[in-house]
Amino acid sequence: MNPVSGSYRGEKEGVNYELRIDIDESSPGVVVLNVVSGDIVRVDGVFSFQSLTLRKDVADDVYTLSGQTVVYKGTEDNGNTAKFTIRVALGNNGVWAAHVHLEELRQGGHRHKLEYDCVKYSKYFRHVTVDVDYYGDELVLPEFDTHSCPDRPPDLPKRIITPFTPYEDVGVQMTLNRANSTQIEDPDPTNPWTLAELSTAMTFHQNINPNTWNIWVFLASAYRNPRVGGMMFDKKQRKGCAIFLDHVWHKDMKSNNPTLKAKATRKFIHTFVHEVGHVLNLPHPFDQNILNSTSFMNYDWRYNNRNSPGAYFRNFYYKFDDFETKFLRHGRQDFVKPGACSWAKQKRNTAMPADPDTDDRWAKRLQLKITPEKTTYKQMEVVSFVVQLKNVHKSVVYVDTRFDLSTDTVKFFLVSPNGTVVEVDPMEYEIGSTNMKLLFPSGSTEGPDRHSELIRILYGKGGFYFQEIGKYQLKAVYESGQFYVTSNLLEITIHPWTGNAGIPQRFFTEKMGDYITLGGPLESEYKECRALLDSLLASPQNKDWIGVLKVLTSENASKQARQMKLDKSHGKLGITSHDAANNDVLQSTKDTLKRLHASGAPGENMLYEEVTKLRARAYVNLGKVDEAQKEVEQLVYDLQSRKVKPFVIQNILDDWKVIKGEEAKAPKGLQDRVNEIMKWTKEDYNDDDEEDEESGLGHGIFFSAFSPEHQRASSNCVQQIVNVAEDTNDISYTLEYADAMQKTGKYNFLLVHYALNVFITHHPLARRAGLRVSEITESSTMDQSTFAMVEHIGEPQEIWMDYWRNDADFTFHHEHWHLVYRGGGLQEFSGQKHIDRQGELFGYMHRQMLARYNAERQSWGLDVVKAYNYDEIEPLGCDVGEEFHSDPRNSYMKPRPPGKKWEGSYVEQFRNWEFKLKEAIQNGQLTTELFDAVLENRDASDLDYNPRKGFANYWGHAIENTSSTFSNDYGGIHNYGHSIFGSIGQRRPYSSYMNSTATAVRDSIFFRWHTHVETLLDQLLSHDKYKTDLQLGTPSIILSSSDVYISKSNEPPKGFLDWSEKGKIWVNNKFDASTLTTTLGLPEKKFEWGKLRHDGYTYHIRLMRHPEKQYDRRKDLALTMRVFICPTKCVEQRQRWIEIDKFKYVLKRGQQYAVVSRKDTHSTVIRRREGEGAPTDDPEIDVPNILTVDGFCECGWPHNMLLPRGTAGGEDYSILVCVTDNTIDTGDKESIRSKCGSLSYCGARDKRYPDRRMMGYPLATKMMVDGKDVSVSEAARILDNMAMSSFKIQNKDVRFPQPEPEPEPEPEPEPVPDRNAIAWLSNKQVGQGEMSAFRSSKWSGRFRVLIDGDYIKTTNAFADVGYMELRFQGRGKDGEYTLANVTIAERIPNTLNVVDNDVTRPADVTFNKGEKITAVNPWKGVVSDPVKFVVQPGKDYFVTFTLDSPGCYTNGSNPRVSSWLIRDPKGYAQHELNWDDPAVKTDRYLASIYCLEQMKVNDE
C-alpha cells in the first residue's frame, strides 16, 4: 500500500508551499476525512508571516484515481476565493508528487494566479516536537492498556497507548525532544508552584518562536491551588503547559496496586492530551456549545455532572471529535501552530448570553447575583464585585463553587462603550477537581444558603478590559452540570484619569498586565512596573486603588519564590531572599488595611479578609506571629460587629491556624463524617420530591434491602458513589457527594444510607481510609426499670429473649452480613453477580443463628421456635421499646402490631412458589447448568469425588431470591416474606422491623419466619441422594472422647499431656467434665435489653496418627479441625449443633502425636477487628502453607454471644470435633486465614470460600457410614476422626440485685418514713443526666410531666399525706434559663387533664437559695432550689410549667419521658383546663426536654 494521503512540501521564489491530502488511509487506523488543504507562506521576517489555506471537503465524484494519478478540482470560499486543480502522480522514485494550479486566487481585493510543485515527505499532516522538563527521578510518559480500567465502553479496542498516540491517530506526529528535556532539580519541591513561577520557567526553558512547531510541557510537583491537575499558563503565546504529578489524579502512577495505577495513568494521559490540545489552539467543546462531548478536550467532571458520575470514561474512546480532528489536520496554519494564534479567535462571542428558559426547573433553583464594590471607577482601577450564588429552592442543591475565572464555571461577558461584546478570557486555564458544596434552603440551620466570592477583572488574554472611557455592561453565567444560570446586568462607568496624561500610556502595557496578573513576579524585567506603582502609591489620592493593586501583586512576595537561573543545561532553581519582599508587602498594604478597618462597608469585607491574611503570611514569614495575631483578632472583631455570619468567622480562624502552622486544615474525622451522614433524616416531603428522586423508588418510601425492586433501584446510587470515588480518588469528596445525594433529594435518603454502606464494605478506597459501616456505639440508658428487664421468674415468656434479639453486636452482624453478601450482587465493583457460594452461605449463616437462638430459648425453658404458618394470626406483635423509637435514626420504624395475619392472596402465592420449587427439584428442572447461567460463577464447593455438592448454593440463591430468573419462576420466598411482615399494619412511609436488615432480628417473628425457610431448605437438602458419606477423604488420625476437653483454663487438665512412648497411646483417658461460665448483665449499648458475655475458654484436642498407616509418618498431615457444641439433650438433631471454630493444623512429618490448644478469641466464626486477626498465641500462625489475607473486618458472629447462656445450675453440653484432610478441603492449594472478620461466616475478600466441603460439614445433611444412615453420636463413636465429649455452661444473671441472706428476726421498730425515697422511676419518666451532658432543644412552650402515684405508694414514704420536692435543671440557648407558672395538680385518671379545684397551686422556681434566675453560665447549666408540694400516695400528679425559650437540657437515661407540650406557648391559657381537646396540638414523648432533675419525698 502506498497511500496518496499525507504532507507535501515545496518552495518557489522564497515562498514555502504546504499541501495536505486526506483522501485515503495514510496510516492503519487513521480515519479518512476526504479533505485537501494547503498553506502558502511568504516569510517577511522571523516572526511574521502571511498564510492562505486552501481546503475543500471532497465528495466521491470530485476526484478521480487513474492508475498512479489523482486529479482533484475544487473551489473554496472562506474569506478568500480560489479555483484550483491538483494533480498527484507517483514518480519513478516511488514518491508521490503534486502539481498545484491556482486558476484564480482572490485575497484582500487582489487576484492572483499561481502554480507550484510539492513532494510528499510524510504520512502525517502535522509535525510537532515536544520538550518535557520534569521534577523527580525520571521522565514520566507512561504507556497505558486501554482495557486496564473496568469502567470503559464495552466495544473499546484493546491497545497500548502513550500521551502521543491520540495525536498520531489524527495524523499529528508528536516527537519527544529528549536532548532538550531536562530534569529540574527543585530545591523546594514541597512548595507549590505559582503562575508567576511557571511563566518565568517558561521564559527560560522554551525558545518562543512563532515559526516553529515546538511545545514545552512541564511536569511539576503541585500547584498553589491543590485542586488543579494541569493548566495552560504562558501568557498569549500558548507554547506550553504544566501537569502536576502530585495531584490526586496522578499520584498513584507508581502504585503497586494495578487498578490504582491504571486509573492514575489514564487520567495523566487525558490531562496531557487535553493541555497540549489547548497549546494547539483547540477550544473546549462547551465553548462551541457542544455540551455532551466525550473528546479529550472536554472535562470529565463536566460531562459527569450533566449525566452521572463516571459516565465520561464509560463512554470515552480516547479520541478527538470530528471538528477537532479536522482542525488539527486541515486548520489554517496560523490557527493551529503553537503561539501563532490567540485562543480568543476560537471562542470570541458576539452577543451577551441568553437567559435560561422560563421552564428550566434547574435554573429556578439558583440565583446568581453580582454586586459591585462601586459603580464608577477611574481608568486603571481594578473592577471588583462579589459573585453570589444562592439557593432559592425548597430543597438542598449541590453546586460547584469554583468561581475563579480560570475554571470556566463562571464566565463573564462585557459590553464595551463601543458596543463590542467580549468574553473575559483569563491568563490561565486550569483543569482540576471540582469544589462541590451544599447550599441549603433559606433559613435552614444545617448550613448556608449561598456561596460568595470576590472577583476582580482588569487584564487577561484580551488585554485590559476596562481601558476605554465610558459605560460598560457586565453579565455573568454560572454553568455546571444541569445548572445554567445568568446573573443580573451590571452597569459600570469608567472615568478618565485626571493626573499626569502619560500615566495611562505607561500603565496599559502588556508587561504591566502580566506583572499584575502573575502576582508580582520578582524578576528584574518587571522593575519598571513596580516603580510605576510605587510612584503612584506615594500620592494620597491613589492610595485606595493602588493599594488593591498591591494586594494583587504581593502574592509571591509573601512566600519563598523560586527564581530560575539562566543556565538551561543544568536546569537549576534558586530561592530569592524574601525578607525584603515581605516587608514590602506590609508597607504597601498598610494604608489599605487601615482604610478597610475604618470603612465598615459590607462590600469590602472580603477584601478586608484577603488583605489581613496576606499580611498575616508576611508577618509569619518574618517571625512576627504576635503582630499577625493582633490584626487577625481585629478583623474578627470588626466582622462580628458588622453581623457577618458565624461560619465566615470560623473559616477565618481555621485559616489563621494554617497560616501560623499551628495545625493543618483537615476535614472532620472520616468515620465521624460517615456517622453524621447515616444519622441524617428527611422529615417532610412534597409533590416535587417524587419527581426528582432518580432511582424510581421515590421519597417517603422505606428502603428495604430485602426487596429485589429496591435492590435494583439502589444499583445506580451505588454505582455513582463508586464512580465518584474512582474519578477523584478522594474519600472525603466521595463522602460529601454521598451526603449531597440525600440532602438534595436526588435519592431517597434511606437508599443513600444503604448505598454508602455497600460502598464502605466493598470499595478499596474506603478500606484504605479505615472506614467502617456505622453502628451503634452509644452507651445504653436502660436500667432495671425497663419493662422488658424483668426477673425471669414463673412461666417462661417470649419477652425473656429480648436481651438476645436486641443485642447491638448481634443486630449489626445480621445487617453487615447482608452488606457483604448483597442480594443484588456486586456488579458495581467487580462485575460479578454474586460472591462465591453466596446462596449456600445464606442458608448456613441463618441455620447457625437458629441453632444458637433455640439453645438460648431452651436454657430458659422456652420451646424451640415454631415455624410460621401462612394461615395463622400472629398474637404477639413486637415493640422494641421507647428508647429505640425516640431516636431520630429510627423515625421511620414502627412497632409491629399484634393480631395480624397475611392476606389470602399472599398465602396462595407463597404456597404456589413452594410447590413449584419442590416440583422443579423433584423433576430435575433445577439443574446446575441453569444456575451457572444465572450466577456466572461455577460453584467452588464441587469436589472431584462428589460433584453434586453445589446444590446447597443453588437452592440458597433460589430461596433468598438473588436473581430475576429465580423470582420469575419460583418467586422470592425469603425476601418477600420479610417485606410482608415489615408492611403489616403500617402506612407510608413507615415500616416495621422485618423490612430492614439492621432491625429484623429484633422481632421474634424473624426467627419463626426463618424456621419456616430453614424447614423448606432442609426438606430440599434431606433427599437421600444428598447424604454425606463420612468415610470419603478421612485423614489417618485417631481421637476419642477423652481426647477432647474444653475448660476456662489455658492449660489442659492434669495428665492430659501424658503419652506412653512404649504403647504409643495416651496414658490418661478419664477427666472430669469442666464448666464454662457466662454472665447476663445490664445493657451496654443503646437499644439493648441486656448483655450476654462469657469467660474465656480454651479447648484442648489430642491427635494421634493411625498406627496401621505408618507410611503416613513420612509426610506432614495437613488437617482441618472442625469444632461444634450442642445441648446434650439435642445431640442427635443435626440442625441444633453450633459451629464455634474451624482451622488448619499440621502434624509434622515423623510426629506421632500432638496436643492442639486454641482459645475462644481465635475462633473463625466471630467478628475479629483489624489488629486482632493474628494473635501471637494462635496455633495457626506457625502452620506452613497458610496465607493471611484481607477479610471483611466488620463481619462475623459477635464474640460476646459465642457461647449460649446455659443455666444457673449448669446446663449439660456436648463438644464435637471432626478432623478432615485439609488437602482435600482446599483442593491441595494454599490455605488462607483472614486478618479480621469471620472466615467461616464471611469468607475472604477476592478469594474463593476457603473450604470446598459443604458449610457445616459433616452435619449439613444426613450422614452415612458403610452405606448406612448414622446418627451424630453413632458417627462420633464409629469414626476415628470424630469424637464427642461433655461439659457444662453455667450462667449468672447480674441484671438484678441478688437478695441478701435474711438476718435473725428482731423486734420491729416504730415506722419511720423514708426520707430519701425517689418518688418515681426517674430514669423511666424524666431521666437524670450529668450536669455536663446537655443536648440542644428547639422546643419552648407549656409542658406537662406525669408523676406516677402507684410508685409513690410502693415506696412507703408516708402513711397518709406528705410532701414532695422536685428540682428543675437545664440551661438556656443564649445564656438565659427561665421558668414560669409552675404548678402541681392531681391528674384526672386516664386523661391529660387535672382536677379543676387543684390547678391553682403555683410555686415560684428560684435558684441559689432564693434568687430569681437572670442569667446562667451557658456551659454548665443550673439546678433550681427545691420546689415543695403536698401530695397523697396512690394518686397521679401533673407538674405543669412554661419554658420561655428553647435551650439545652440534660439528656436523661430514657429519652422518652412521659411529658406533653402545647406547641403554641402564647395560647396555652385558654386550653389549660382541657389538654385532651383535639384542637390543642400537643406532642407526647418529647425526646429533648429533661427539665425535672430529681425529686424527694418527706426529706426534712
- In which region does residue 796 sit, left (phi positive, over 0), alpha (psi from -120 to 50) or beta (all else)? beta
The pLDDT of residue 1422 is 67
| Cα Rg of the chain (Å, integer) | 40
> What is the torsional sign of CA 321, 324, 325, 326?
positive
Identity at 264, one-letter amino acid code: A
Report the helix count and the strand count for the chain, using DSSP H and E: 37, 61
* Helices 543-552 and 579-599: angle between axes, nearest 10 degrees: 130
On the question of a cis peptide bond just before residue 1258, with omega within 30 degrees of 0, the verdict is yes
DSSP for residue 894: -
DSSP for residue 949: G
Counting other chains too, the contacts that 1381-1385 makes at CB distance below 8 Å and 24 or more residues apart are: 1381/1342, 1381/1440, 1381/1441, 1381/1442, 1382/1427, 1382/1439, 1382/1440, 1382/1441, 1383/1439, 1383/1440, 1383/1441, 1384/1347, 1384/1429, 1384/1431, 1384/1437, 1384/1438, 1384/1439, 1384/1440, 1385/1437, 1385/1438, 1385/1440
- Beta strands (DSSP E) in 331-409 are 366-372, 376-378, 383-391, 397-400
The pLDDT of residue 207 is 52
The pLDDT of residue 360 is 76
The pLDDT of residue 1233 is 59
Q: What is the pLDDT of residues 1031-1046, one digit of tens each?
A: 887 888 999 999 999 9
CA gap 1346, 1342 in Å, rounded: 14
- Of all helices (H) and strands (E), which one includes residue 184? none
Residues 6 or more apart whose CB falls under 8 angstroms from that of 387 comprise 368, 369, 370, 403, 410, 452, 453, 454, 455, 476, 487
Q: What is the mean pLDDT of each run of 10 residues along the chain (1500 residues)?
A: 82 80 78 80 42 49 43 52 74 84 59 79 92 82 92 92 94 89 74 78 60 84 84 70 89 85 93 92 84 90 79 92 89 78 48 81 86 89 91 85 83 91 81 79 81 87 88 92 88 91 89 80 74 82 75 59 50 52 77 82 78 86 88 88 80 82 59 89 56 77 88 86 80 88 87 93 85 78 52 83 92 89 72 72 90 96 94 89 82 89 90 83 56 39 40 74 67 88 86 93 95 85 78 87 93 90 84 93 85 93 82 78 96 94 87 90 78 48 53 78 94 96 75 63 70 86 90 93 95 73 54 32 30 46 69 46 65 63 79 65 69 52 70 75 56 40 41 56 40 38
Helix, strand, coil fractions of the chain, as percent rounded to 5: 30, 25, 45
Q: Which of 241, 202, 188, 252 is nearest to 219 (CA)?
A: 241
Q: What is the pLDDT of residues 324-357, one digit of tens each?
A: 998 898 887 778 888 666 543 444 446 788 888 8
Q: Locate cell 478536550: which residue?
A: 297
The pLDDT of residue 110 is 55
- Beta strands (DSSP E) in 698-800 are none
Q: Which of 1167, 543, 1064 is nearest to 809 (CA)?
A: 1167
CA gap 534, 349 in Å, rounded: 37
Residues 6 or more apart whose CB falls under 8 angstroms from that of 419 comprise none
